[in-house]
Amino acid sequence: MKFISWNVNGLRACMQKGFIDFVNSQSADFVCVQETKMHESQAEVPLENYNKYFCSAEKKGYSGTAVFTPHTPLSVTYNGMNIDEHSHEGRMITVEMENFYLVNVYTPNAKDGLLRIDYRMQWETDLRKYLMELDKTKPVIYCGDLNVAHNEIDLKNPKTNRGNAGFSDEERGKISELLNSGFTDSFRYLHPDETGRYSWWSYRSNARKNNAGWRIDYFIVSDRIKEKITRADILSDVYGSDHCPVVLEIDI
């Protein structure tokens, strides 16, 4: 099966920059998007033969996730952690299929100066518990903009960004904790030493042109299905957002 994850930084804007043509060209089983910045009623997403599931923030024009798939899930759950403080920003969709759970997430940003780091840490703790609970029943495919570069290899300028949002010791420690709890970073599983592969670039200072980026978009899977991964890729030649799509292909 083929999965795509993409922080589109505004789905309506991205649709004007080739989103629909891109999705139609990929023939993916699941397309997970983050930062939709819209409610389903605000725009038609003209993807024929796709079921469309939206989880929107209460605040207009903010956050939001969506999943598009030609398949019919057994169930779809929104804000699945069932914790009130995590249920207002449209950050999670869980899709249950016969053989796995797909969890699409837009992780809260710790913000400049780590102003939101306490909330971010609580989110990470609660999410890890949620994923581990799902994993007791079926393997999990967890994807999205996780707003963290795990290791120095995952961003262009680790030394100058050490301690900043997205590369703080606290955030990096939480993704390590998750991976040590029975999960695998699919890209690093297939490409353990590959450098210069990023999924997000600032709009400032010609960052994308200079490939001064960060790998903060992931597919993370249950350890017991990691050997089924056949492709984990970053489509850095696809434009339309400050992020690019990432891809997982897995025999599941």
Catalytic residues: 106, 145
Contact 94, 80 (CB under 8 A): yes
Cβ contact 36:54 at 8 Å: yes
Cβ atoms of 194 and 233 within 8 Å: the answer is no
Distance, in Å, from the CA atom of 78 to the CA atom of 93, rounded to the nearest integer, reads 5
Joined tokens for residue 99: 């053989």
SS3 224: helix
Rounded CA-CA distance 244/201 in Å is 9
Burial 60-93 (b: 16+ CB within 10 A, else e): eeebbbbbbbeeebeebbebbbeeeebbebbbbb
Task: State the Cα angle at 165 between 161 and 167, rounded to 5°.
Answer: 50
Q: For residues 161 and 177, what is the distance between their CA atoms, to the nearest angstrom?
A: 21
Residue with tokens 């990432």: 246
